[in-house]
């Protein structure tokens, strides 16, 4: 009686290699949330449009707590206000 061994290795789900730079709009940002006490995925909200740039706020997707903010300099207003 032959014992034939088949290679039945469960194929792990292959994850596509992450290519940075291609999905900048959909960037998955994780920041430490003080409410959840761990790094959580966050959502980006546009708060204000200021002369020095657009102000964004990062909020935890889980509990909605504010976990960070940043100002994006668009530069558009400089061109408009210059005269
Ligand atoms: Zn949270």
Residue 13, domain member (yes or no) = no
57 CA to centre of ligand 1 in angstroms: 14
Q: Is residue 6 part of a domain?
A: no
CA of 72 to the centre of ligand 1 (A): 24
Q: Is residue 17, in this structure, part of any structural domain at all?
A: no
Q: 2 by DSSP, 3-state: which?
A: coil
* pLDDT, tens digit (0-9, with 9 covering 90-100), for 46-70: 999 988 889 999 999 999 999 999 9
Segment 15-30, tens digit of pLDDT: 666 555 544 455 668 9
Number of structural domains in the chain: 1
Better-scored residue on pLDDT, 72 or 83 = 72
Whether the full predicted model's pTM is greater than 0.75, yes or no, is no
Domain span holding position 63: 30-81
Answer whether residue 66 is part of any domain: yes
Ligand 1 midpoint to CA 41 (Å): 9
Q: In whole angstroms, how large is the CA radius of gyration of the chain?
A: 23
């Amino acid at each position: 009686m032959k014992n034939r061994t088949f290679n039945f290795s469960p194929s792990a789900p292959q994850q596509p290699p992450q290519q940075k730079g291609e999905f900048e709009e959909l960037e998955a940002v994780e920041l430490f949330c003080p409410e959840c006490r761990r790094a959580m995925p966050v959502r980006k909200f546009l708060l204000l449009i200021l002369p020095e740039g657009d102000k964004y706020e990062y909020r935890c997707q889980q509990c909605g707590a504010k976990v960070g903010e940043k100002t994006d300099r668009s530069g558009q207003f400089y061109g408009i206000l210059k005269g």
